[in-house]
A = this chain, B = another copy of it.
Amino acid sequence: MEDEVDRLVAAWRRERPDLDVEPLEVLSRVSRLARHLDRARRTAFAEHGLEPWEFDVLTALRRAGSPYQLSPGQLLTQTLVTSGTMTNRIDRLTGKGLVKRLPDPDDRRGVLVRLTDDGRDRADQALAGLLVHERELLAQLTPGQQGELAGLLRLLVAPFDNIPG
């Protein structure tokens, strides 16, 4: 089955036969797929009254394990947003009663963001719902292919995640 990137690459080969546009076969698909996934996630989370950005923060805290708290800085590296954005997110989640700010006992500059009970429940429910939807999307692939794909993607992501970026 053909996709938009096949058409895009074919168009470049016609218009710019002098260029090697092979990289787009991979990277344009990554970008476009991510955009489609964003939309699908927005729909999936709507069932639970959450926005994708809320999910990202709540689940990062949920994954941290009891007592479900992380510093804003730790949340930054997991969510790939800027500090201003994170401050804003924490403000809004606090307003909704899903997290609360606590002073960091070891560093007076610092803050700890902790999940409330309500926040924890919401995160758990939304995760379960998300996985149902994601499994459907991945039904296009055999388990073996999924593993292959995950491995190849890891090779590309790892440099970003490990070399400070």
- With both beta carbons as reference points, the residue of chain B lying nearest to A81 in the complex is identified as B35
Interface string of A109-133 (1 = CB under 8 A from B): 0000000000000001001100100
**Which of chain A's residues 135-154 have a Cβ closer than 8 Å to chain B?**
135, 137-138, 140-141, 145-150, 152-154
Contact A37 B29, beta carbon cutoff 8 Å: no
Q: Contacts A131-B20, A138-B23, A140-B156; is A29 near B150 (CB within 8 Å)?
A: yes
Contact A159 B146, beta carbon cutoff 8 Å: no
Copy number in this complex?
Answer: 2
Quote the shortest CB–CB distance from A163 to chain B (angstroms). 10
Contact A3 B157, beta carbon cutoff 8 Å: yes
Contact B33 A157, beta carbon cutoff 8 Å: yes
Which of B14, B23, B80 interacts with A35 by CB under 8 Å?
Answer: B80
- Chain B CB within 8 A of A2 CB: yes
**Which of chain A's residues 1-51 have a Cβ closer than 8 Å to chain B?**
1-6, 8, 11-12, 14-16, 19-27, 29-39
Which of B32, B138, B147, B152 interacts with A141 by CB under 8 Å?
Answer: B152
- Chain B CB within 8 A of A162 CB: yes
- With both beta carbons as reference points, the residue of chain B lying nearest to A149 in the complex is identified as B152
Contact B157 A36, beta carbon cutoff 8 Å: yes
- Chain B CB within 8 A of A63 CB: yes
CA distance A160 to B77 in the complex (A): 30
